[in-house]
Structure 1
Amino acid sequence: MGTPQGEPSLYTVEIDGDTFEDCPALRVHYAYGPPLLGEGRVEIRGITVTQPPATGDDDQDQAPDRGLDEVAVRQVTAAWRRIEAWLREHAPASYGSLKAGASVEEIAALEAALGLRIPADLKALWSLHAGVRDVRGAGFLLDNRALMDLDAVVAFYRMQMMFQQRSRSDEDPTWRPSWIPFCSYGVDDRSSGLYLDSTTGELGYFSRYAEHWAEYASLTVYLEEFADALEAPVLVTGARPGLAGGALVWGPPNYPDPDHPWVEYTG
């Protein structure tokens, strides 16, 4: 499809009037043209695997495609490294909140506790950092959310599944078994956040009021938008990155901290 530029998962291709068509089994997410790219150029930012329709009542879950998993791992790792490098340089308080990565054994134990296979992209994220400590600056993800640790993931998932079983509503479920929460409003505040749908790869929003909707096409898209906002803040249209006492805060904040005034980061 093109010539590799840097990371093996990132390609730049010339557009010569030919139709750009996605493979039927994949959903390709790409950026096109100015201001970040040259005229007539496109960068593939992420690839989401679409689920084929069932062919029978007895179909079982298909085995993951190892090649696609490797692509997802590379993409998530590359995007997160960009974020981490920015935090290290500009927001030491937020960088210092990061916990160590989870081991293979810890992630396997999480899969057993949830009773489902964790997608490769989410495994990659947690293997880099399995949550944050409850310190100032920990809520540095987009919209000032915090990365959940594995114990919090299990506890919240089980609670949501219990609520779903009690409601017995299949038409408008409060929670689906395939939804894996990974970030929340605060380190100890689960009133809202994001989950990854292990069936579709999409990221969705949840709240305490049983609200839920799709927000991002994949974890890769989410992390790359995050990294792009830090590296090119002039292009941000929503909440803007800023610094407050060495922490990354998306703002302007609704409730400014007088001890740590917010200063917009402009690059």
Structure 2
Amino acid sequence: MAVELPAEVQERGERLGRGVRYALKVLCGQLEDNPLLGSPTGEPSMYAARIDGETFEDCPELDVQYAYGPPMLAEGQVRILSVEAAQPAAVAPEREPVAAPDPRLEEMAARQVTAAWQRVETWLRDHAPVSFDSLQEGASSEEIDRAERELGVRVPGDLRALWHLHRGVQSSSGAAFLPDNAKLMTIAEAIELHQHWGQIYDFGDGLWDHRWIPVCTLGEHSWSNGLYLDAGTGEVWSWDEFANRRVEFESLTTLLEEMADALEAPSLAGPAKPGLVDGALVWGTP
């Protein structure tokens, strides 16, 4: 069994000490023999291992995160994801274990999101061509897998299905066509904003959690307000620059189904009704 050690991960590790290269080589050999050498982190496919710095010359104590097998990788594959200088246990923020998802429920959620989005997309194509033209192409499984590694959390089946359809929208007129005139973020924007809030709130103080994946921003250019998907519960929450949080939708499916219903039967919409401005979908007072 070959263990993948990406060049960029090795380069970052080698900045920590001259002996890190050899220490990682030894660890890769150990993982080839026993991929379950590390400890499960509580997230599917994710394991953590520690390298004793005293064992290797010019090498500090290291914390190594790696992935093994499904759902993140193919059966039998191992990939080193990160190498960092070890922190004292009291300093490292604790993360609650996340239960492994039920594949049947994941598949059902993916089908529901796909069906709801296709209703939305059909309406956009027929009535709001400017908004329809803002849609980007769908993302490949490999692109979403890379996003998972950068986010540090499994992308739930419903969001994965949405990204397979479209990786986001172009930053153009008519792109903010979701309810409340929100804009569907690109995968790259979601990663950047996730890391931005994680750096500000340090992922450990309760103000921003590593499982919260940004989905859309309220407005085309503002990152101060938006919606994120809680990968742990499946709920869609709103956030604002003052760290206010509240549940807006039971799931991503609920958000899209309610949007599709409002487009097809505007009388079902809330106070903000769907309308058109120069070929773009907007939401506001009738």
Q: Same fold (TM over 0.5)?
A: yes
In the superposition, relative to structure 1, how do residues 136 and 106 fare at CA in structure 2: closer, same or farther (>3 Å)? same
RMSD: 1.9
With normalisation by structure 2, the TM-score equals: 0.65
Q: 1:47 — aligned with what?
A: none
Q: 1:256 — aligned with what?
A: none
Q: Once the 2 structures are TM-superposed, how far is the Cα of residue 60 of structure 1 from its aligned partner?
A: 5.1
Match of 1:198 among 231, 240, 253: 231
1:233 partner letter: P
Equivalent runs, 1:150-189 vs 2, <5 Å? 150-165=187-202, 169=205, 173-189=206-222
User: Is 2:235 the counterpart of 1:214?
Assistant: no
Q: Distance between the aligned counterparts of 2:183 and 2:269, measured in 1?
A: 20
2:149 partner letter: A
Match of 2:273 among 226, 229, 240: 240
In the superposition, relative to structure 1, how do residues 105 and 187 fare at CA in structure 2: closer, same or farther (>3 Å)? farther
Q: Once the 2 structures are TM-superposed, how far is the Cα of residue 229 of structure 1 from its aligned partner?
A: 0.2
Q: 2:168 — aligned with what?
A: 131
Please tell me whether Structure 1 or Structure 2 has the larger radius of gyration of its CA atoms.
2
Equivalent runs, 1:26-41 vs 2, <5 Å? none
Q: 1:223 — aligned with what?
A: 256
Match of 1:80 among 117, 133, 149: 117
User: Is 2:129 the counterpart of 1:102?
Assistant: no
Query: SS at the partner of 2:267?
Result: helix
User: Is 2:187 the counterpart of 1:145?
Assistant: no
Q: 1:250 — aligned with what?
A: 283
Structure number with the higher helix fraction is 2
Q: Distance between the aligned counterparts of 1:149 and 1:84, measured in 2?
A: 17
Q: Distance between the aligned counterparts of 1:62 and 1:218, measured in 2?
A: 17
Q: Distance between the aligned counterparts of 1:211 and 1:241, measured in 2?
A: 27
Q: Deviations over 1:131-168 (max 9, x none)?
A: 111111000001000000011111100111111129x6
Q: Once the 2 structures are TM-superposed, how far is the Cα of residue 63 of structure 1 from its aligned partner?
A: 2.7
Q: Distance between the aligned counterparts of 2:248 and 2:97, measured in 1?
A: 28
Q: Once the 2 structures are TM-superposed, how far is the Cα of residue 209 of structure 1 from its aligned partner?
A: 1.5
Query: SS at the partner of 1:68?
Result: helix
With normalisation by structure 1, the TM-score equals: 0.69
Q: Distance between the aligned counterparts of 1:111 and 1:149, measured in 2?
A: 14
Q: Distance between the aligned counterparts of 2:252 and 2:137, measured in 1?
A: 20
Does the CA-based 8 Å contact 1:132-1:147 persist in structure 2? yes
Q: Distance between the aligned counterparts of 1:201 and 1:78, measured in 2?
A: 18
Query: SS at the partner of 1:224?
Result: helix
Percent of aligned pairs with the same amino acid: 48
Query: SS at the partner of 2:171?
Result: coil
Q: Distance between the aligned counterparts of 2:220 and 2:163, measured in 1?
A: 16
User: Is 2:118 the counterpart of 1:90?
Assistant: no
Q: Distance between the aligned counterparts of 1:139 and 1:216, measured in 2?
A: 19
Equivalent runs, 1:38-77 vs 2, <5 Å? 61-77=98-114
Q: How many residues align?
A: 193
Does the CA-based 8 Å contact 2:177-2:280 persist in structure 1? yes
Does the CA-based 8 Å contact 1:97-1:138 persist in structure 2? yes
Q: Distance between the aligned counterparts of 1:69 and 1:123, measured in 2?
A: 10
Q: Once the 2 structures are TM-superposed, how far is the Cα of residue 114 of structure 1 from its aligned partner?
A: 0.7
Query: SS at the partner of 1:204?
Result: strand
Q: Once the 2 structures are TM-superposed, how far is the Cα of residue 83 of structure 1 from its aligned partner?
A: 0.2
Q: 1:120 — aligned with what?
A: 157
Does the CA-based 8 Å contact 1:148-1:187 persist in structure 2? no
Gaps of 5+ in 1: 1-56, 253-263
2:172 partner letter: V
1:239 partner letter: A
